[in-house]
Homo-oligomer: A and B are copies of this chain.
Amino acid sequence: MALVEPTACQVDIAAGTMSGATGTYRKRLADLAGLYADQAAFAAAIEAGGDAIVYDVADFRPSARSGDLIFGLTRMSPGRIGDEFYMTRGHIHAVADRPEIYYGQSGRGLMLMESPVGETRVVEMTAQTICYVPPFWIHRSVNTGASDFVMVFSYPADAGQDYGIIEKSNGMRHRVMAGGPKGWQLVENQDYRGRSAAAIAGLMST
């Protein structure tokens, strides 16, 4: 069995990039249709701003083998749709008991987490905050600041992503909106539909 060669990647925090990535992807507003509460503001933003970049991801995936690790960088633009801050699509791991670690590099944001039964947790992140997202938590990043929100992340290589879980419940239970003493506040998502006992049991058995 041939060994894998060691690798070095260099993060540029100001640019929000990572050299040596094996893959990158970019999400523009139009890729995120349906995520935001204010559909008129969303349509207006698309109309006015062309098709703004909401976030970029660069990652290094040595393998998909159980026991291996993937790592990378997320750069999120600042912005809002109406009062709702720019956010990532969000996911639970396809192997739902896999955790993830996020390490804030610049800017200001939140890790918004939801348990299968619908409990919400928030970790406020700025430079040098490490957030441990434990097994079974749905998670999404939100840029609540006025500048790029940049994070390094790492997760088990066999975790995978299930993005559909959030669509099926019509979004996460809470939205992150401008306002309140901290500049952001959680607001109940009126369209949210809780998971059935069978769906929860299915998630927890992975």
Q: Are A6 and B121 in contact (CB under 8 A)?
A: yes
Q: Which one of B3, B133, B154, B204 lies within 8 Å of A6 (CB-CB)? A: B133
Q: Which residues of A from 1 to 53 have beta carbons under 8 Å from B?
A: 1, 3-13, 18
CA distance A129 to B152 in the complex (A): 12
CA distance A71 to B136 in the complex (A): 18
Q: Which residues of A from 82 to 133 have beta carbons under 8 Å from B?
A: 95, 97-101, 103, 111, 113, 115, 121, 123-125, 128-133
Among A61-69, A165-173, A176-184, A185-193, the one that faces the other chain is: A61-69
- Given A62-B99, A95-B67, A103-B103, A6:B152 Cβ within 8 A: no
Give the interface size class of chain A: 35 or more
- Given A99-B62, A123-B8, A134-B3, A128:B13 Cβ within 8 A: yes
Given A3-B115, A10-B128, 14 more A-B residue pairs with CB atoms under 8 Å apart are A5-B121, A6-B121, A6-B131, A6-B133, A7-B132, A7-B134, A8-B125, A8-B129, A9-B130, A60-B132, A67-B98, A103-B103, A103-B152, A130-B152
Q: Which residues of A are interface residues toward B (Cβ below 8 A)?
A: 1, 3-13, 18, 60, 62, 66-69, 71, 95, 97-101, 103, 111, 113, 115, 121, 123-125, 128-137, 152, 154-156, 158, 204
